[in-house]
Amino acid sequence: MSLSLVQILISGLLLGAVYALFSSGLTLIWGMMNVVNFAHGDFVMIAMYTAFIIWKLLGGGPLLAMPMAAVVLATIGIIAYLGLVRHIMRGPMLAQILGTFGLALLLRYGMFWGFGANFLSLPEDLVGGTFEWQGLRLQSSRLLGGGVAVALTLGLHFLLTRTSLGSRMLAVSEDAMAAQLMGIRPDHMQAVAWALAAGMTGIAGALIATFFYISPTVGENLAIVAFVTVSLGGFGSVPGALVAGLLIGVIESFSGYLIGAVYKDIVVYVLFIAVLWLRPQGLMGKN
């Protein structure tokens, strides 16, 4: 394999890891309470603006922006759950769809009001420019984003499968009534799930802001990526989101190289439709 193809492969994996990180929050919410959060992409957008504000006011890079964006988004996640989601969960699926879609519009047009429609960006050298090794040239921002994203996605999987908190959350997802009889408060666990999912999304947004444009509408594109990733990997599966995110990142990178950046999304969506046709539950979803 030529050096240029290796570079494209690595770049795709690094980008796909960030896709997996913010998609894992979407799959966590679905796995916990069967709610599809249509505002998920706009959560990422809020985190990107948070990173921009931190750089503008404090001069801080992603190491400062990540924890602050996580706190901001976790707070938004708790407010969204307590103020909206727990109420619409008692209604039909249409109420959940329209409720979270309305939340997405509120966040999006709130940012239009606050920041306008102009595209913003962080300085290219905010994370140290370009990393060179054996002829490979990779953006340091992508290396940081990919490494942190893989670590946090695996950490989320460990938390859900190897800790008492994860066991309580799993119990609520399986049978909320039975969990309540065992002394677990479903309402608390679901609020924790929203805080955790939104916090992970906040970190992903702070990372992706270092190499992606920032605008109030960027959440639309990122939401589509998240839904494709989660559907491809299997709703409710964090490892599935990681595998699908890496796969989509690689496919996007090679498609952009072979047929042009304008058409790269077409290849991803064709693959997405093929998987839904052949295996609707996704690559690692339950039968």
Query: For residue range 49-63, what is the model confidence (pLDDT) as tens digits?
Result: 999 999 999 888 888
DSSP, res 281: T
pLDDT at 285: 64
pLDDT at 235: 79
pLDDT at 176: 85
Q: For 51-78, b where at least 16 C-beta lie within 10 A, e where not — what string?
A: bbbbbeeeebbbeebbebbbebbbebbb
CA–CA dist 42, 109 (Å, integer): 10
pLDDT at 115: 92
pLDDT 10s digits, 120-154: 988 877 776 676 766 677 777 788 889 999 999 99
DSSP, res 136: E
User: Across residues 197-221, what is the average pLDDT?
Assistant: 91
* Residues forming a β-bridge with 130: 139
Q: Which fold has domain 3-278?
A: ABC transporter involved in vitamin B12 uptake, BtuC (1.10.3470)
* Residue with the two structure tokens 């090679």: 254
In the structure encoding, which two tokens stand for residue 185, read together?
A: 């408060």
In the structure encoding, which two tokens stand for residue 37, read together?
A: 């959060």
Contact 84, 191 (CB under 8 A): no
**% of the chain exceeding 90 in pLDDT:** 44
Q: What is the mean pLDDT of the chain?
A: 87
CA–CA dist 145, 128 (Å, integer): 13
CA–CA dist 253, 47 (Å, integer): 24
How many Cα atoms sit within 13 Å of 102 on the Cβ side? Answer: 11
E-strand ranges in 80-124 read: none
CA–CA dist 97, 88 (Å, integer): 9
DSSP, res 60: -
Contact 203, 23 (CB under 8 A): no
Contact 37, 29 (CB under 8 A): yes
In the structure encoding, which two tokens stand for residue 270, read together?
A: 């064709």
Span between the terminal Cα atoms of the chain, in Å: 37
User: Across residues 147-169, what is the average pLDDT?
Assistant: 92
CA–CA dist 245, 264 (Å, integer): 15
In the structure encoding, which two tokens stand for residue 82, read together?
A: 């307590």
